C-alpha cells in the first residue's frame, strides 16, 4: 500500500500561518483557527506542508486506506481553502446562507472571511464534523 504524500506531522502551525500571503490570508486563518479548534475539540496540526488539520479519520478505498483530517484549512494565495470532507450537497440550506464562495468536491474557497456569514460557517463545520465522526473511525 502506498502512503499518501500528505501526512500529519509536527510542523509549527502558527509559523506556517504567519508566512501566508497575502496578509488577508494570515488574518483570516488566525480567525478561523480558534473556531475550528472549538468545533473539533482538537489542537491544530500540520498535514504535509500546507494544510492545518483538526482531528483525523481513517478510510479505505479500492483496497488502500489512509488517514486525513476531519476538517481543516489552508491559507492559499488565491483563496482560503476550507475542507468540508462530506462535500456540500447535504448542506444546501446552509450553503444558500453562507455568502460569497466557490466550491470543489470537498473544498470551500473563500477570498475573505468578511465575505461569508461566520455563524453559518461555524454551523456548517460543526455539522460536517459530527457527520464525519458518524461515518468513519476517527481520532
Dump pLDDT digits (tens) for 38-48. Answer: 999 999 999 99
Domain ranges, residue 121: 8-133
Report the range of poorest mean pLDDT among 24-28, 64-68, 76-80, 129-133.
64-68
Grid cell for residue 26: 494570515
Residue 97 domain-assigned (yes or no): yes
DSSP H or E stretch at residue 138: strand 137-138
Residue 127, number of CB atoms within 10 A of its CB: 16
96 occurs within a structural domain = yes
pLDDT at 108: 98
Decide if 139 is inside a domain. no
Q: What is the pLDDT of residue 62?
A: 66
- Binning the chain into helix, strand and coil, the percentages to the nearest 5 are 40, 30, 30
Q: What is the pLDDT of residues 105-138, one digit of tens each?
A: 999 999 999 999 999 999 999 999 999 999 988 8
In the chain, how many domains are there? Answer: 1
Nearest Cα to 26, choosing from 134, 113, 128? 113
Q: Report yes or no on 3 lying in a domain.
A: no
Identify the CATH number of the domain in which residue 82 sits. Answer: 3.90.1150
Cβ count near 93 (within 10 Å) = 8
Amino acid at each position: 500500500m502506498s502512503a499518501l504524500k500528505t501526512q500529519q506531522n509536527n510542523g509549527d502551525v502558527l509559523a506556517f500561518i504567519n508566512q501566508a500571503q497575502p496578509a488577508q490570508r494570515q488574518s483570516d486563518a488566525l480567525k478561523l483557527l480558534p473556531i475550528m479548534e472549538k468545533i473539533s475539540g482538537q489542537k491544530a496540526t500540520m498535514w504535509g506542508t500546507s494544510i492545518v488539520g483538526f482531528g483525523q479519520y481513517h478510510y479505505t478505498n479500492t483496497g488502500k486506506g489512509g488517514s486525513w483530517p476531519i476538517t481543516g484549512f489552508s491559507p492559499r494565495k488565491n483563496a482560503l481553502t476550507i475542507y468540508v470532507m462530506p462535500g456540500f450537497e447535504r448542506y444546501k440550506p446552509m450553503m444558500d446562507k453562507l455568502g460569497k464562495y466557490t466550491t470543489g468536491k470537498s473544498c470551500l474557497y473563500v477570498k475573505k472571511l468578511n465575505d461569508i456569514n461566520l455563524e453559518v460557517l461555524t454551523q456548517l463545520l460543526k455539522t460536517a464534523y459530527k457527520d464525519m465522526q458518524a461515518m468513519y473511525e476517527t481520532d
